[in-house]
Amino acid sequence: MDKIKGIAFDKDGTLIDFEASWSKGLISLIESIFPNQSDKQLVLAEEAGFNLALEKFVGGSVFVNGTTNDVIDVWKKAFPDLIVEDIMQKSEIAFNDLEPIALCNLEVFMSDLKKKGYFLSVITNAAEAPTLIQLEKLSCLHLFDEVIGCDSGFKPKPSGDTILGFCDAIGLKPDEIAMVGDSTHDLNAGRNAGVGLNVGVLSGPANIDQISGLADVVLDDILGLPEIL
């Protein structure tokens, strides 16, 4: 643990309550793609890894783990006539006014880690620009040394490329980094980058059976991180 000098956090499901923040937006998007066509809406939801009846994401959800392009790819396999530009436009409308809901007081939590000397980053498969806006709304953007999204010039998770980008930016080796995330994409990224500590958290849709094999330690949420560090 003494080697760990930097911490890379996933965003959704790790720092932000995924369902509370984004489930309404996904429902709105699905309904806008196929208005009044409940059978097709159900298919879109299932392909995205979302239980439409319960309004809950399922473990392994491509919407949770992947990029917007990943979601569009699975939707186009089910409905080849869908137009990418149309979905992107509808997506911007559906999610534009939604407010991120943090899983804890991120300003206080990250401030404490900074005082202990850790370099901090957010590494997400969401786009960089909205991520910066969301972190600013949560009053914690200034505490991160790097924010890397799926469009920041690196291969997105599960590739380890984004983590290596964080390492290069702050001058640390991968084995000096802890990766903290709620999904297999996060923890596979940590493995692929060769991080010194892979931390799984159960604050997202995945259950312990899905992530424990990839994690060095599994916590209920990030609040348990300072103790193990």
What are the Cα distances from residue 216, in Å, to 1, 118, 198? Answer: 12, 19, 5
The answer on pLDDT for 1 being more than 80 is: no
Pick the closest to residue 16 from 116, 105, 118 (CA basis): 105
pLDDT tens string 48-83: 999 999 999 987 889 988 888 999 999 999 999 999
This prediction has a pTM of 0.88
Mean pLDDT within 34-38: 97
For residue 123, the 8-state DSSP code is E
Inter-residue contact 204 to 219 (CB < 8 Å): no
Mean pLDDT within 90-112: 93
The model's confidence at residue 13, banded by pLDDT at 50, 70 and 90, is very high
Q: Where are the alpha helices (DSSP H) in the chain?
A: 18-33, 38-48, 62-65, 68-78, 84-95, 106-115, 128-137, 161-170, 184-193, 208-211, 225-228
Least confident of 37-41, 129-133, 140-144, 219-223: 129-133
For residue 219, the 8-state DSSP code is E
Q: Is the omega angle on the peptide bond into residue 158 within 30 degrees of 0, that is, cis?
A: yes
pLDDT tens string 157-202: 999 999 999 999 999 999 999 999 999 999 999 999 999 999 999 9
Distance of alpha carbon 49 from alpha carbon 63, whole angstroms: 7
Question: Which residue ranges form the domains of the chain, and what is each CATH number?
Answer: 6-16+100-228 (3.40.50.1000), 19-95 (no CATH)
At 24, list the tokens. Answer: 């309404």
The answer on pLDDT for 2 being more than 90 is: no
